[in-house]
Amino acid sequence: MLTIGGQRSRYCDGLSRRSCLQIGGLALGGLALPDFLRAEAADRATKTARGIIMILLPGGPTHLDTFDLKPDAPPEVRGEFQPIATSVPGLEICELMPRLAKLAQKFTVIRSLVGFRDDHNTHWCSTGWESHPPMDASPIVAGFPPGDWPSMGSVLSRQFGPRVPGVPPCVDLTPIEPDARFILRTPPGQPGYLGAAHAGFEVNAVDRRNIMLNGVSLRRLADRRNLLDRFDQFRRQVDKTGVRDGIDEFHRQAFDVLTSPRLAEALDLTREEGQVRTRFGLDTSYPREREGKTFLDQFLIARRVIEAGARCVTLAFSRWPFGRMLKGDYNWDWHKDLFNEARGALPLFDLGLSALINDLDERRLLDDVAVVVWGEFGRTPKINANAGRDHWPNVASALVAGGGMRCGQVLGSTTRWGEQPLTRPVHFRDVFATLYQRLGIDVSTTQFTDLAGRPQYLVGEHRPLPELI
């Protein structure tokens, strides 16, 4: 395969582009290499990804101890960890992530992410907007207001619908416990003004064993669906507020899920090969229970669900209930004992994310599936008296991979202590614009109508990052 600016692809006769080049110039009809590369780039630009895996790091991960270390800073800033070289010249990351260091050519690190506010709220990581009420102004377990901005998964559901019958377009793997929602604030798959039909399917809100109904004939299910349809048609006649819009579609999707084995099988990790399970750390000595679940297995489930046909899968890498600090928890709100917390969390994060990227690549899915990893803000440059770092909305780091995006690079930089962007500030809506573009949505023209009847652009005036396209 030709890897310069291109992607794995073959002609219909099975002949790879690289093989075609090796045959010689006559086989290309005299086409010069620059012309060939332009054609390759055009092919890459027009081919869209089929899905996205969104990985939330709730609590606000420390950029200074993960992807933007400052080894020359004074001790109260640089911390206890050393940077290590990666497979990309000039890119260094934390020594606790050696697996990712070897895969750096397969992702891009953004070091100059901006647009946050000092609030535990992953709403903007799911929607691109910070319009959700601040923590002090809303309950711990909060839903999106009906007229608020939709999540990316809900947008994909509205724009394209299900990719495969029986698999919801938007699947949410995040936990539903109140402690988890305290940080997440709300389910990442909430549909906002797009309506209930486009809400994410919350896997952890149901018993996975009951996703398929046993002992109920398809005829009986069809009769029940017809009855539900009649009730829903009546509701639409009497309810013009928009609150119940899309209920019919919701029930149709539920019917498809109940009668198809695809989602249930994707969630069943016992069906996965032992070698793959081991790669993801599921058959090793890593503890999976301590004050709650680790979400290491969610990396593998995310790949399986995307492969089964979902368009967007969201997971939160954390351990719930989080019980605050010093209890082996992997939420990222490390106000104290940061370095011990990191020694517990980062090796598992390194294992899970590297396994996901490698697995997608080996299955020839990486070009078709985008991956984004981020949290709601960064952490303070200066280490506090409790050996932790506090909230820092001025700048943060993120990681993107796959989806046909240009990888093996660093985008942006921060000042010498990591306080502010130094070069190429990147707003998180710029990242959303890029992801939407790779998923086949033109943010400059696509509009949806909110509950007040007003047309809304998905990311305002923000546009895709040319460095990633």
pLDDT digits (tens, 9 = 90+) for 25-75: 333 334 454 454 455 455 555 567 899 999 999 889 999 999 999 999 999
Indicate the range of 310-324, 346-360, 365-379, 437-451 predicted with least confidence: 310-324
Within-domain flag for 462: no
- Looking at residue 416, what DSSP letter applies? T
The residue among 243, 259, 275 that closes a domain is 259
Residues 8 and 110 in one domain: no
Whether 386 has a pLDDT exceeding 90, the answer reads yes
Contact 451, 147 (CB under 8 A): yes
If you average pLDDT over residues 85-89, what whole number do you get? 98
Residues 351 and 419 in one domain: yes
Residues 115 and 237 in one domain: no
Residues 324 and 351 in one domain: yes
- Alpha carbon 246 to its chain centroid, in Å, reads 25
pLDDT recorded at residue 443: 98
The residue among 259, 274, 297 that closes a domain is 259
φ, ψ dihedrals at 328, nearest 5°:
75, 25
Contact partners, residue 230, CB within 8 Å, separation at least 6: none
Residues 202 and 250 in one domain: no
Within-domain flag for 117: yes
48 burial via Cβ count (<10 Å: 0-12, 13-18, 19+): middle
Q: The tokens of 328 are what?
A: 């082996």
Rank 145-149, 190-194, 320-324 by mean pLDDT and report only the highest: 190-194
Residues 423 and 297 in one domain: yes
Whether 194 has a pLDDT exceeding 70, the answer reads yes
Residue 402 vs residue 298, higher pLDDT: 402
The closest of 257, 263, 299 to 53, measured between CA atoms, is: 299
The residue among 259, 292, 327 that closes a domain is 259
pLDDT recorded at residue 141: 45
Residues 359 and 327 in one domain: yes
Residues 220 and 284 in one domain: no
Rounded CA gap, 331 and 319, in Å? 6
How far from 97 is each of 101, 256, 291, CA to CA, in Å?
6, 41, 24
Rounded CA gap, 363 and 422, in Å? 38
Pairing, β 369-374 against β 396-402: antiparallel
Rounded CA gap, 279 and 13, in Å? 34
Pairing, β 409-411 against β 107-114: parallel
* Helix (H) or strand (E) segment spanning residue 432: helix 428-438
Within-domain flag for 465: no
Within-domain flag for 467: no
Residues 335 and 244 in one domain: no
If you average pLDDT over residues 164-192, what whole number do you get? 77
Contact 220, 255 (CB under 8 A): no
Within-domain flag for 469: no
pLDDT recorded at residue 326: 39
CA quadruple 371, 376, 381, 384: dihedral, nearest 10: -130
Contact 460, 430 (CB under 8 A): no
- Looking at residue 5, what DSSP letter applies? S
143-168 residues labelled b (16+ CB within 10 A) or e (exposed): bbbbebbbbbbbbbbbbeebbbebbb
Within-domain flag for 362: yes
Q: The tokens of 70 are what?
A: 């400052």
Average pLDDT of the residues of the chain: 80
Residue 9 vs residue 333, higher pLDDT: 333
Got the DSSP string for 12-28? Answer: TTS-BHHHHHHH-GGGG
Residues 177 and 300 in one domain: yes
- Structural domain harbouring 314: 49-208+265-457
Tell me the residue type at 107: F
pLDDT by residue (tens digit) across 195-224? 988 999 988 776 555 565 444 444 554 554
Tell me the residue type at 149: W
For the chain, how many structural domains are there in total? 3
Indicate the range of 90-94, 146-150, 178-182, 348-352 predicted with least confidence: 178-182
Contact 200, 188 (CB under 8 A): yes
Within-domain flag for 466: no
pLDDT recorded at residue 121: 76
pLDDT recorded at residue 31: 45
pLDDT by residue (tens digit) across 237-291? 545 444 445 556 666 666 677 667 888 899 999 899 989 998 998 876 555 444 3
The closest of 192, 150, 188 to 56, measured between CA atoms, is: 188
Q: The tokens of 200 are what?
A: 């994410």
Residues 18 and 145 in one domain: no
Residues 388 and 252 in one domain: no
Rounded CA gap, 261 and 99, in Å? 34
Whether 168 has a pLDDT exceeding 90, the answer reads yes
Percent of the chain surpassing pLDDT 90: 54
Rounded CA gap, 371 and 302, in Å? 11
pLDDT recorded at residue 123: 80
φ, ψ dihedrals at 358, nearest 5°:
-65, -40
Within-domain flag for 295: yes
